[in-house]
Chains A and B, each alone.
Chain A
Amino acid sequence: MITLLATWTFGVTLALVALGVFVSYRLFAFPDITTDGSFTLGAVTTTVLLVAGHDPALATLGGAAAGAAAGACTGLLHAILGIEPLLSGILVTTALSSVNLVVLGRSNVPLAGTATLLDRAEAIFLPATTAAGFGDAAAEAARLIVMLSAVGIAVLFLWTFFRTNLGTAMRAGGDTATMARALGRNTGLLTVAGLAIANALTALSGAFVAQVQGFADVQMGIGMVVWGMASVFLGAALVGPVRLGGALVATVAGSITFRLLVASALRAGLHPDWLKAATALVVLAALIAPRLLTRRPQASAAR
């Protein structure tokens, strides 16, 4: 029971990475490698702030803000210096691996004995989960509720934001830059803002993961961009073409499904060393599945 709940909690927490990748890759068509670095950056920033005795909520927000700054750097490299998306992300994430190590001081810092935002939020739901008969798993269940609420708030925020004038202009710029520019939008700045939001979400996920697992590690972000893409593609494959709200929910569902798939694969005897390779295969499968399932290509819209 506890293991199953923990699997869910982890999947839900990582859904924030998936939402970040949804913003950068789906809305801006920007394959953002910064994800790997900003996930760790969020975790180490929050951990260092927590260990230094700062308020847990402030520490968590600090992690997200650091991620936003990293995303903005990648966006600026692309928008101002004209460096292509993949290379911009590689440059920033490479620089971040040094930054993360310097911020954390060493490669691994535990959070044992430090009050985290999760502990605090957990305490709110603990009476309810205990009363609901979760028994030993009451604490884990409360955690899951906390993370589900956090992801729910993130989905609501994104859904609302991307339906405002600014958010709609960002989606338009990400979809068709020529159109957005002809209507007066500075598409470079919009991309910078989009990547800042995307990496704030990713870093927030890192901040929560550090608090869920009780430590920050400079290696913990490796492969996160692929994880995020796997979740986004899996979500899209689960529900098919939908509008913004549906796509956001599908992305969260994709992340949880993917985490459950991984857990089942490990339980079925997959050696953990093969995990990343299996992840890459899932991304590949999710990418080609829609093409195999649709019989004929869509008619071109412009005739």
Chain B
Amino acid sequence: MLDVRHATVAFSAPGGPLVRAVDDVSFTIPAGTFVVVIGTNGSGKSTLLGAIAGTVRLDAGSIHVAGHDLTGWRENRRARYVGRVFQDPRAGTASSLSVLENIAVAACRGRPVGLGWATPQRLRAEAAQRLAAIQPGLEKRLDQPIGSMSGGQRQIVSLVMATWHRPELLLLDEHTAALDPASADRVVQATAKLVRDQKLTALMVTHSLEQAARLGDRLLLVHRGKIAVDVEGGAKRRLSPEDLASRFDRLRRADQLDDPAARTLRDLYA
């Protein structure tokens, strides 16, 4: 379960006004729910995800995962409960290490590391089995440097790594945005399968309206640092990409009306 209470993150450019990238946001994701987050560029959705992951410090509010207050925790400590997949496959995997060695590091997620052998036969067998289950063929590449794989394959391995031990919360940060459509599709299918099989609580940020409409049990649309739309259940299932596009349009138009420059122009010509 994820519980975000009154989360606020403010930035200020030197000499510029204070901007609330995340503005008093509260929401709860019950255990086992798959939530999709969309938003315009600069809406604050990435900052919100960073605040949950621990890369961005909250100015006010709190973050609880599975009953644990993570608010003041550093990013690496949060790994005990949170699994993450990055947008850039190169950020989520260590290129010079083999696929199996990457998995070995993931097998220690949130646990103290000792001097035990990193890649024992047992780990190799389980890694082969899990990779084969999600994308047959990958299990034959355990000893290759992960840097030699395609972005899509690396994201599949990243997913297996993030969920090697079932995380209390899985954070997916536009994890298909850097991929070609065919690879993105495979990664989306793998994501849906893992979330379903492990009954994960997941938060996925995406740019794709098509993914946002098709995936997840609930949808949050973030706009100007706030949650502008929150749909779940039957309403979420009935959402189409076109619905989402028109909602975006409406928000943008409302924005323009709200824009001081637009208002000045309107006043001049009124």
Contact = CB atoms under 8 A, between A and B. Distances in A.
Interface of A: 161, 163-169, 171-172, 175-176, 178-187, 243, 301-303
Given A184-B76, A303-B150, A164 B115 contact: yes
Interface in B33-78: 53, 74-77
12 contacts: A164-B115, A165-B108, A165-B115, A168-B101, A176-B90, A179-B105, A182-B75, A183-B76, A183-B105, A184-B79, A302-B88, A303-B183
Given A171-B94, A184-B77, 10 more contacts: A161-B115, A164-B115, A164-B118, A166-B113, A169-B105, A182-B75, A183-B76, A185-B105, A303-B152, A303-B183
B111 interface: yes
Contact of B149 (A167, A179, A301): A301
Would you list the 6 A-B pairs with minimal beta carbon distance, nearest first?
A: A184-B79, A175-B94, A168-B118, A302-B151, A172-B94, A184-B110
A13 to B, nearest CB: 28
A303 B179 contact: yes
Instruction: State which size class the interface on B falls in.
Output: 35 or more
Contacts of A164: 114-118
A168 B80 CA distance: 19
Interface in B105-155: 105-106, 108-111, 113-119, 147-152, 154
A164 B92 CA distance: 21
A176 B76 contact: no
Nearest to B83: A182
Contacts of A178: 86, 91-92
Interface of B: 53, 74-77, 79-80, 84, 86, 88-98, 101-102, 104-106, 108-111, 113-119, 147-152, 154, 161-162, 178-180, 183
Contacts of B101: 168, 171-172
A53 B119 CA distance: 45
Given A169-B113, A175-B95, A184-B109, A302 B90 contact: yes
Residue from the set A161, A164, A178, A183 with the largest chain B CB neighbour count within 10 Å: A183
Contacts of A176: 90-95
Contact of A181 (B79, B117, B119): B79
Given A171-B94, A184-B76, A301 B154 contact: yes
A302 B89 contact: yes
Nearest to B164: A183
Contact of A179 (B91, B111, B183): B91
Contacts of B89: 301-302
A171 to B, nearest CB: 6
Contacts of B106: 183
A296 to B, nearest CB: 16
